[in-house]
Amino acid sequence: MPRMQRATPDDRHTRPLARLIAGLAGLMLLAAACGEEATTDGTAGTPTDGGAAVGRCGDPERLGEALNFYNWADYIDEAVLEKFEKECGVRVTMDTYTSNEEMIAKVQAGNSGYSLVIPTDYAVEILIEQELARPLDKENIPNAANLDPKQLGLYYDPDNTYSFPYQYSTTGLAYNETAFAEPPTSWAVLFDQNEHCGESSLLDDQYETVGASLAYLGHSWNETSDAAHEEAIDLLLEAKDCISAFDSANFIGNLASGEVVVAEAWGFAAGIARLDNPDVRYVIPDEGGILWQDNFVVPVDAPDPYTAEVFINYMLEPDIGALITEYTFGFTPNLKVEPLLSDDYHGIITDGGIFIDDEVRERLEPSIRADTKRYADTYKAVTAG
Amino acid sequence: MSAAPSLRARLSLGGASAFVFAFLYLPVAVLVIFSFNDARTGGSWVGFTTRWYLALAENEGVRSATWNSLYVAVISTLVAVVLGTMLSLAVDRHLFRGRGVVQQVLYLPVITPEIVTGVSLLAFFSLVLQGLNELLGLDVSEALRLGRPTVVIAHIGFNVAFVALVVRASLRNLDPAMEEASRDLGASAWVTFWRVTLPSIMPGVLGGALLAFTLSLDDFVITFFVTGPGGATLPIEIYGQLRRTISPEINAISSLLLAASTVALLSALGVQAAAGRRRRARLRAQPQAGALPLQREETAM
Amino acid sequence: MSVVQRETRRRVRILLLPGTAWISLLYVVPALLILAYSFLTPRIGGGVEWDPSLDAYRELLAGNARASYYNGYVTVLVRSVVLAAATTAICLGLALPLAMFISRRRSAIAKNALLVAVMIPFWTSLLVRTYAMRYLLANTGPLNEFLENLGYERQAFLNTRFAVLLGLVYTALPFMVLPLYASVERVDGRLLEAGRDLGASARKVFLTVFIPLIRAGITVGCVMVFVISVSQFLVPTLLGGGKVNMVANLLEQEFGEAFNWPLGAAIALFFSALTLFSLWLVVGRREQEEFL
C-alpha cells in the first residue's frame, strides 16, 4: 500500500545528528586519553634548582611526582603550589572544602586519595581518636624547630605527634565603623541591643554561634550545661528576627559591600574584608571570643606521606610562610616568618583591630567543641523554628 | 487555527509569556553584564573590561573544573541515552514479570533527595573501593579511589532515569502499527528500531539527552560527596571560591559556557531544520502527498 | 501492546538489564545501607558504629526534649512541603500561558526557537544564577536601589521565604514547561472549536474542555516540580541564609556538623516515605498508570 511505503522514515534526518554526537564523543574520549597521559608522565622527582634547593625539597630519591592536597577554600596562595612544583618538581593538586565536617567525612570514608589535610583543632582530635591520622616523621620536617612554642602542645595533640600548626586566628566581631557612633565592644550589638536589623549576621556554625551567645550571657564558650544552653536558645530566638542570616560563606563580601554592617566573623576574614573596604574593623568583645588553629595532618591512608611531609616542611620555610600569611591574613605560628611580613599586612592587622596582644588574649578562650550533640540541639532549636 | 481567540486573550497570553521570559533572563543578563564589570566585588557597575575573560586563561582551577564538568556531562549523557532508551523500550513495549517493580525503581533517582543519594553513595563507593583494593591487592599509592570516574558513574545513575522517563512519554504516542508493519514486511527487530522507532522518538531522545546534560552540568550535591582528587567539577569549584568573594571570573566562565551551549543547541536545531526541509522537498517531488505521521516529528521536543 | 514471543523475552532482558542494574546498584543498595544506618549509633566524626540502636527513631518520633522549643523536624518538613506546593502552583500559573503561547506559533522553527529560549538560562550554572538572584535582591542591590529612587524604603528581600520561593520557582520552571507543552501541543483544536460552536463561552471551553485534555501534562509537570522543589538544597542555602531551612538543610546538619548519621538516615527515610505516600494519594491510581 502506498501509504505504508511512504511510512519509511528518512534516516538522513537522524544521520547528521548521530554523526555529530559520535564525533564529539570520540573527540572527548581521545582528548581525555591524551590528557591523562600528559599528567601521568609528569616531571621527574629531581629538583630543577641547584644544590641549595635540595634542603627545601627533601630527598629526591624518595620524593613523589604528585601530591593530593585537601585544603580550605582560598586558604593558600596558589603561587606556593606553583613554586613547590618549580623548585621540587612535585605537581600538587589541591581540592577544597568549606567545613571540617566535609573533610572528615571524606577521610573517614577511606580511600580519599589525599596525602595532606588541614583540620582545625577539634577536628585534629577527632581524626586522632578515629585513628585516621598518621604520626609525623619529624626528621622530615626540620623547620618545625621554628614554630612558636605557645602554639604547640595544645589539647588536641599534646606532643604534636600527628600535627603541626598551619595558621591560627580568632572569632570575634567585625563591623563597619561608619555605622557606629562608638566602636562596639560587646556581643550585645548582635543580640538584644541590635540596632542594625537586617544588616547583621551570625556564623552558620553551631559551636561559634551558640558559643558567642553563651559568652554574652556570662558563661564560657565551652559551657555544656543544659541550663545555660536553654538561656542561649531564648536569647538567640529573640535575636533571630534582627539577624539577616546565619552565614559563613558570604559575610566577607557582605561586610565589604555594606550589605551587612556588623557580623560575627573570623579575624582573618575581617582582614580580607578590610582589603576591599577600609571601614571594616574587628574586635574581640569584652565577654570573650575564641582562639582556634588550623593544622597540617597526614591521613593514615595517604598515598605519599613522605612527599606530604616534605611539603609541610616547605611551607614552614620563612619565605613561603610569609606568602601564605600575607594571603590569608591569619596569624603565623612560624617565628621566622614574623620579620618578613610586609607593612601592608601589619597595617591591616593593626589598624583593623585584628591583632592579638596580652590584653586581647585575656578575653580569648580555646576552641574545644566538646559535646557536639548539646550544641547541635541548641542550634537546631534556634534555626528550625 | 481553531476557535479564534480574542485579541485580549492573545495579548494577555503574549504579555504573560513576555513576563516569564523576562523573569527567566534577568539573572542571566546580570551575570553576563557583570562578567564585563571592572570591579572585584560584584557591587555596582564600575567600567567595562575584558580582563576577567583573559584571567580565565590563567585560572587553572576553573579551567580543569570546566573540563571535568564537560567530560562528565558528555560521557554520562551518552551512556544514559543508550541505557535509558533501551530501558524505556523494554518497559513500554513488553509485558514481563516485575515490570511494576522496574517502573518504581525508575522513579528512585527522581524522588530521593540528592543529599541522601550523596551520603549513601559515599558510604557505598567507599566500601566497594575498599573491597576491590583488598581483592586486587593494591597498595595505598595505587589504590582505586573516589574521583572523576565515580562522579561519572553517579551521574549516569540519575541520568538514565530521567532519559527513560522522557523517552517513555515519546514512546507512548507512537502508533505500534508502524513497527508491526515494518516487521511484517520482513525487517529485523534491529532495523525496525533503527529506521522506524528511533527517528519517530528522536525528539524525545534529544529532549532526554538535553535534560541529562543540563542535570549533569549543574549537579552539586551528589558530585560533592562522590568526587575525589582532581575530580572537581565547576559547581564544586565555584562553591569553594564563594567564601572570599565571587570573582567575576566565574561570571566569565558561566557566560562562555552559556554561549557555547547556545551555539551547540542552535546548530543542532539548524541541522534538524535543514534535514526537514530536504525531506519535505523530496516528498513534494513524489507523485502522492506526504504522510501525516512524519510531519509530527518536526514539531518540537 | 505487542505480543510477547519467546525470542523477544531474551531481547527484553538485554534491553532492561544494564539500565536497571545501574540504577539499582546506585539507588537501591545504598538505600538499604542507609536503612541499616538508621538503626545504628553515631560515630564521633561522622559515620556509624555497628551497634544497633533505636535512638534515631525515638528522637524522630518522640521529639527531643533538650531542644525544648524544637518541634522542629515537623516545622521544617511542613515548611518544605508548603514551599514546594506553592512553587508548583506558581510554576503552573507561569508555564501554562507560556506553553499555550509557544504552541500557537505557526512555524515549527519558531516553536523550537522559543523552547530553546526557555532552556538557555538553565545552561548556566545554577549556583551562579542563584548568586545573580542574591545580588538582585540584596539590601544594596538594584531592586532596593530602584525602590529607594521611587521613594519607598529598602526592604530585606533576601533570606526570606519570598527569596527562597522565587529561587525554587526559577529552578523548577522548565520541568513544568516541557511536559505541559508536550500535552498542549497534542490537543486537537477542533475539540475546542466544537465547544465554542456548541455555544460555550471561551472561559467555559478553557475550563471544561482544554484543561482536562492536558491533564497528563499538568500531572507530570506538577509531580516533577514538587519533587524537585521539596528536596532542594542550594536554593534554601543560598537564598535563605539559614533562616528558611528545608529538609535538605536539616539533613546536611545531621550528616555534617551534628555528626548524627543515624538520625539523618531516619529523617531521610521518613521524608521519602512521606513524599511517596502523598504522591500516591494525590496522583491517584489511574494517572500513575498513565505516566509510569
Q: Does A357 touch chain B (CB under 8 A)?
A: no
| Mean pLDDT (whole number) for A177-191 | 94
Please report, for chain C, the start and end positions of each structural domain, with discontinuous segments joined by +: 1-36, 38-291
Chain pair A-B, CB pairs under 8 angstroms:
156
Indicate whether this complex's ipTM tops 0.95: no
Which residues in chain A are closer than 8 Å to C68, comparing Cβ atoms? 230, 233, 381
**In 3D, which of B57, B15, B55, B52 has the Cα closest to residue B37?**
B52
* A98 and A249 Cβ atoms separated by less than 8 Å: yes
User: Which cell is B237 given?
Assistant: 569549584
Say whether residue A44 is in contact with chain B using an 8 A CB cutoff: no
Mean pLDDT to the nearest integer, A54-67: 86
Give the number of other Cβ atoms within 10 Å of residue C153's Cβ. 7
Confidence of residue A361 (pLDDT cuts 50, 70, 90): very high
Segments of chain B scoring below 50 in pLDDT: 1-3, 289-301
Across residues A220-237, what is the average pLDDT?
93
Q: Distance (Å) from the C-alpha of residue B234 to the closest C-alpha of chain C?
A: 8
Q: Is the pLDDT of residue A153 over 90?
A: yes
Would you call A7 and B291 a contact, using CB atoms and an 8 Å cutoff?
A: yes
What's the rounded Cα separation, in Å, for the pair C184 and C186?
Answer: 5
**Residue B47 in domain:** no
Q: What is the pLDDT of residues B265-287, one digit of tens each?
A: 777 777 767 777 777 788 787 76
All three cell numbers of A179, joined, read: 555605622
Opening angle at CA B26, ends B23 and B29, nearest 5: 150
Q: How confident is the model at residue C287, as a pLDDT? A: 52
Q: Is B299's Cβ below 8 Å from some Cβ in A?
A: no
Question: Which residue out of A4, A95, A327 would a mutagenesis test of the B interface target, given it has the greatest number of B Cβ atoms within 10 Å?
Answer: A95
Q: Which residue out of C253, C254, C255, C263 would a mutagenesis test of the A interface target, given it has the greatest number of A Cβ atoms within 10 Å?
A: C253
**Using CA atoms, how far apart are residues A257 and C64, in angstroms rounded to an integer?**
40
Q: Which residues on A lie below 8 Å from C242 (Cβ)? A: 204, 245-247, 383
Q: Where in chain A is the domain with CATH 3.40.190.10?
A: 14-166+294-337, 169-291+346-383
Whether residue A101 and residue C140 make contact (CB cut-off 8 A), yes or no, is no
Q: Bigger pLDDT: C71 or A41? A: C71
Per-residue pLDDT of chain C (292 residues; tens, 9 = 90+): 455 466 677 777 788 888 888 998 999 888 898 899 999 999 887 778 888 988 888 888 777 666 554 556 778 888 999 999 999 999 999 999 999 898 888 887 788 888 888 888 877 778 878 878 887 888 877 788 888 888 888 888 888 999 999 999 998 998 888 888 878 887 888 888 888 888 888 888 888 888 888 887 888 788 889 988 998 998 999 899 889 999 999 888 888 888 888 998 998 888 888 887 777 776 655 555 554 4
Q: CB–CB of C26 and B154 under 8 A? A: yes
Architecture per CATH, domain A14-166+294-337, reads as: 3-Layer(aba) Sandwich (3.40)
Least confident window among A273-287, A333-347, B37-51: B37-51
User: CB distance B181–A7 less than 8 Å?
Assistant: yes
Beta bridge partners of A295: A165
Contacting residues for C280 by C-beta, under 8 A, at least 6 apart: C288
Interface of A with B in 286-305 (CB under 8 A): 301-304
Give A13's contacts in chain B (Cβ within 8 Å). 199, 202, 272, 275-276, 279, 297
Chain A contact for B241 (CB, 8 A cutoff)? yes
With CB atoms and an 8 Å threshold, state whether B116 touches C272: yes
Instruction: Name the residue in chain A with its Cα closest to that of B282.
Output: A10
Does the structure show a pLDDT above 90 at A236?
yes
Q: How many CB atoms lie within 10 A of CB B143?
A: 18
Q: By CB neighbour count within 10 A (0-12 exposed, 13-18 middle, 19+ buried), where does C104 fall? A: middle
Which residues 131-150 in chain A show a CB within 8 A of chain B?
none
**Cα C145 to Cα A259, B47, C81, C132, C289, distances in angstroms:** 13, 19, 33, 16, 51
Q: Which fold is adopted by the domain A169-291+346-383? A: D-Maltodextrin-Binding Protein; domain 2 (3.40.190)
Instruction: Identify which of A279, A381, A238, A201 has the alpha carbon closest to the alpha carbon of residue C156.
Output: A201
Whole-prediction pTM: 0.82
Q: Is C5 on the interface with A (CB under 8 A)?
A: no
Hey, how many other C-beta atoms are within 10 angstroms of the C-beta on B291? 17
The pLDDT assigned to B5 comes to 61
Q: Is residue B253 part of a domain?
A: yes
Strand pairing report for A289-299 and A133-134:
antiparallel
Report yes or no: C280 and C71 within 8 Å, Cβ to Cβ.
no
Tell me if B269 is assigned to some domain.
yes
Q: State which residue of chain A sits closest to C249, comparing Cα positions.
A: A384
Number of structural domains in chain B: 1
Partner C contacted by A326 (CB < 8 A):
no
Return phi, psi of residue A295, to 5°. -135, 160
Domain C38-291 has CATH 1.10.3720.10: yes
CB-CB: which of C46, C67, C134 is closest to A377? Answer: C67
Cβ of A253 and B41 within 8 Å? Answer: yes
**Among candidate residues B12, A133, A97, the one with its CA nearest the CA of residue C104:** B12
Give C238's contacts (C-beta < 8 A, 6+ positions apart): C127, C130, C131, C134, C167
Judged by CB atoms closer than 8 Å, whether chains meet at B146 and A113 is answered as: yes
Residue A367: the pLDDT is: 92
Asked if A258 reaches chain C (Cβ–Cβ under 8 Å), the answer is yes
Could you say which of C15, C19, C117 has the minimum Cβ distance to residue B160?
C19
Residues of chain C positioned with their CB less than 8 A from the CB of A229: 66
Of all residues in chain C, the one with the smallest CA distance to A122 is C45
Q: How far is B57 from chain C (nearest CA, A)?
A: 19
Give the nearest partner residue to C233 out of B27, B87, B114, using CB atoms: B114
Q: Is C45's CB within 8 Å of A126's CB? A: yes
CATH of the domain at B114: 1.10.3720.10
Q: Please answer yes or no on whether A95 and B232 come within 8 Å at the CB atom.
A: yes
User: E strand or H helix at B237, and its extent?
Assistant: helix B234-241
CB-CB: which of A6, A25, A95 is closest to B229? Answer: A95
Separation in Å, CA of A274 to nearest CA in chain C: 18
Judge: B243–A98 Cβ closer than 8 Å, yes or no: yes
At A385, the pLDDT band (50, 70, 90 cuts) reads: low
Helix axes C261-291, C55-62, angle to 10 degrees: 70
User: From A116, which residue of chain B is nearest by alpha-carbon distance?
Assistant: B229
Do B265 and C193 lie within an 8 Å CB cutoff? Answer: no
Q: What is the pLDDT of residue B247?
A: 63
The nearest alpha carbon in chain A to B206 belongs to: A17
Is B250 a member of any domain? yes
Query: According to the model, what pLDDT value does residue C68 have?
Result: 52
Q: SS3 of B219, please?
A: coil
Interface touch C73/A226, C-beta < 8 Å: no
B4 falls within a domain? no
Domain that holds residue B154: 60-300
3-state secondary structure (DSSP) of residue A50: coil
| pLDDT for residue A172 | 96
